[in-house]
Amino acid sequence: MKVATMSVLAKITRIQQETSLIRSFRLELEDSRFSFLPGQWVDFYKDIEGELRVAGYSIISLPSQKGFIDLAVKKIGTNPVTKYLHDGVKLGDTVYVDGGYGDFFFTKDMGTSVVLISGGIGVTPLLGILRYIQDEAPEVQATMLYSAKSQEEFLFHNEFLEIENKNENINCIFTITQSDNLKKWNGSIGRIDMDLINRTNLKPETIFYICGPPAMVEDLHKLLLSNKIPSDRIYTETW
């Protein structure tokens, strides 16, 4: 089996069902020198029926946590690696990972005010960034705007609330776009718009990160530009 030159052998040591469609995984890395930045993703390689398959997944663990990485993967689409992770994976399986990749990342030298906007599984790289801010840059003013169809689809909802409660500089706003049980929901309702974004106490230096379905990302990118947010302060990624 041939893999990319910089690939690292990894063993799957934890599998956790986060929601009905989302699983998280811990991968112990053979090479502890593997490095990435908060918000980046990895290429994940697996030999499936004699053919090397690959898929990209965002890292949700911290760069400072050496020796392993955590991923969260939604059961969607037809990618054979994703199908394997939901229907065939076993503890102890070995795979290869390569990365970290992507320009969608945040480090504390980049700024002191960020707004993280996510939809659906697009929250995974933003969770990695928010964990980093909580752990290594608590002075950064950060707001998470998280949209999902229903409250049951929020990934790591309790952890976001815990992070918010521990750091007065972090604020999390959740909004649902459709649900049969709105009476049980005390948060915001509707898609993320400029009114909701303006609740984040914007500053001239605020950096925006948007990740989610392509149409959502494109619409919000255009919305920010139309409201005079400079393009060099907007980072986008689609999932």
Would you state the pLDDT for residue 4?
43
CA distance 222 to 219: 5
Identify the top-confidence range among 37-46, 179-188, 191-200: 37-46
Check whether 200 has a pLDDT greater than 70.
yes
Quick one: DSSP state of residue 107?
Answer: -
In the three-class reduction of DSSP (H, G, I as helix; E, B as strand; rest coil), residue 125 is classed as helix
pLDDT at residue 153, as a whole number: 85
CATH for 8-101? 2.40.30.10
For residues 202-212, give the mean pLDDT.
95
Upper half-sphere CA count for residue 138 (Cβ side, 13 Å): 8
What does the alpha-carbon distance between residue 238 and residue 79 come to, in Å, rounded to a whole number? 16
Tell me: the pLDDT tens digits for 113-138?
A: 999 999 988 999 999 999 999 999 99
- Check: CB of residue 141 under 8 Å from CB of residue 112: yes
In the chain, the percentage of residues whose pLDDT exceeds 70 is: 95
Continuous segment of H or E residues that includes residue 124: helix 123-136
Identify the CATH number of the domain defined by range 108-238: 3.40.50.80
**Predicted confidence band at 179 (pLDDT cuts at 50, 70, 90)?**
low
Q: CATH 2.40.30.10 spans which residues of the chain? A: 8-101
Domain span(s) for CATH 3.40.50.80 in the chain:
108-238
Highest mean pLDDT among 101-115, 143-157, 175-189, 194-208: 101-115
Q: In whole angstroms, what is the distance from residue 43 CA to residue 128 CA?
A: 16
pLDDT value, residue 3:
40
pLDDT at 32: 81
